[in-house]
Structures are given as C-alpha cells and as structure tokens.
Amino acid sequence: MNMNIEVAGKSDIEELTAVEIESKRQSIPGYIDAVEIDYALRLHRWRTYFNKESPKSSKPERVILKAVIDSHIAGYIAGHLTNRYEMDAEIQSFYILINYQRNGIGKSLLMKFVEWLNGHQAKRLCVGIAKGNKYQAFYLKFGGKHLNEHWIYWDDLNVLQKILFTPR
C-alpha cells in the first residue's frame, strides 16, 4: 500500500465529507445521528472550517492533512490552534475509512499533525470524543489523558511526540 500524506485544500471538501460520513457509518454507528451524517450539513461545516469561521474557540491557524492511497483519500486529520480548555491546539476531526484502519495511517497522520503543531509552538493538545467511543483507546495509547468524559488531552506535546516517534 503506497500512501502519501498531503495538505488538503478546498477542492477536497466533497471527498473529505464523504470520508467522514462513511467512516462514521462503518466505525461508530451507535454514536451517529441524522445530523452527523447529513451530507449537506457536513459539507457546510467543512466550508466554514476551511474559511476559518468555525469553531468559535479556534484561532485562524489550521491544517487538514489527508492520507492518499490510489488517488483517493483514505483518511484525514483536521486541527487548529485554540483557546479551548487552556490548550494550544485541538484535533477537530480525525477519520480513517475502516478498510484502511490498523495499517499505521492514523499514527502517520498524527505524527504529521504534531510536526505542524511544533512549527506553531503549540505545547498542549486536546480532542473531543464521545463517551464510550472505542477510538478513545487510540489517543490513550499515545499518552492522552481524560480531561473529562468527552475530552482527551496532552499537557505536554513532547510526551506525545516521544511516544509517536520512538520505534516499538
């Protein structure tokens, strides 16, 4: 499997939306509702994200990194600088199609995102994730801690970076 990680642009909005919805349907069906899988709404949210209009707690600096396999987006991570929970950065959205999971794509995307954060002097990171969502284990595996039942955080990105970049 030949994968490239690239910065996504506005021309990727439709495919990012499709990946998000399909990933939710496949991976977390118990956590989705009609609003979360409404294509038009998700498309609108991506447009506002690219236009730096959302979320309200975010700063303008943001990046969307996509994992491309055979000219298609297999997954992505979107994040930005923030003031939320006194953190420096937040993962806004992170999805990988189920057929590509458990192949190192998530780790590779997270590594590239951490490199981007280092370039923006971010020291602390958070991510919102539904209570009971099985994907909390991914963040906890890389040293994340529970801020509350809906948020995981790293109070020192150096710790996350060390875990990510140390061969196992």
Kindly write down the DSSP assignment for every residue of 58-81, as one continuous string: EEEEEEEEEEEETTEEEEEEEEEE
Q: pLDDT tens digits, residue range 2-31?
A: 999 999 999 999 999 999 999 888 877 665
Provide the domain limits for residue 131. Answer: 3-165
Q: How confident is the model at residue 39 (pLDDT cuts 50, 70, 90)?
A: confident
pLDDT at 35 over 70: no
pLDDT at 57 over 70: yes
Give the CA angle between residues 71, 33, 154 to the nearest 5°: 70
List C-alpha distances in Å: 59 to 48, 81, 90, 145.
Answer: 13, 5, 10, 23
Q: How confident is the model at residue 164 (pLDDT cuts 50, 70, 90)?
A: very high
C-alpha–C-alpha distance, residues 75 and 97, integer Å: 6
Number of structural domains, the chain? 1
- For residue 82, what are the β-bridge partners? 58
